[in-house]
Amino acid sequence: MAPPKPPLQGACLCGAVQVSVTASPLLTLACHCRDCQKLTASAYSLTAMFPEAAFSYGGEVIKGGRHSEGRTHYFCKSCLNFVFSKITGAEQRINLRLSVLDDAALFEPFVEVMTEEKMPWATVPATHSFARYPETIEELQALMEAYSKR
């Protein structure tokens, strides 16, 4: 089934945080890193990357996760559901946890990253696979272009 057209809506587990996006994802990815395994209590995290300007949310969020400098993770203040992340140096994009979207099931991961920390039994249907991350912004842009043309 084709992914739905924007606007896209979603909410955290308890509904206190609602998200809305007026653009289609720039990219969808699965991250197999150990941090994501712990953050999601699962084998990998699922992300839909959007232009920051197209993203809005209502409700109260708090910062969680590792509180590291490079990335800030936002959680619902009430149910502590992992909602989105911001990456320092990439402020024009937002990494929304795909599971928050109402139509999450229709966005399969196009890219998988950090497979070097992957649980050996975990598989996703991604067409591009990275042991770590795409190394350059050009590589990331090429992935976004391939994703938009799929």
List interacting residues with Zn ion (CB under 5 A).
12, 14, 16, 31, 33, 36, 76, 78-79, 81
Nearest-approach distance from CB 116 to Zn ion, in angstroms: 11
Nearer Cβ to Zn ion (31/54): 31
Nearest-approach distance from CB 41 to Zn ion, in angstroms: 13
Nearer Cβ to Zn ion (53/87): 87
Which residue in 73, 51, 45 sits closest to 61, CA to CA?
Answer: 73
Nearest-approach distance from CB 51 to Zn ion, in angstroms: 21
Q: How far apart are the first and last CA of the chain?
A: 13
Nearer Cβ to Zn ion (76/124): 76
Which residue in 8, 7, 31 sits closest to 104, CA to CA?
Answer: 8
Please list the helix, strand and coil fractions of the chain in percent, rounded to the nearest 5, in that order: 20, 35, 45
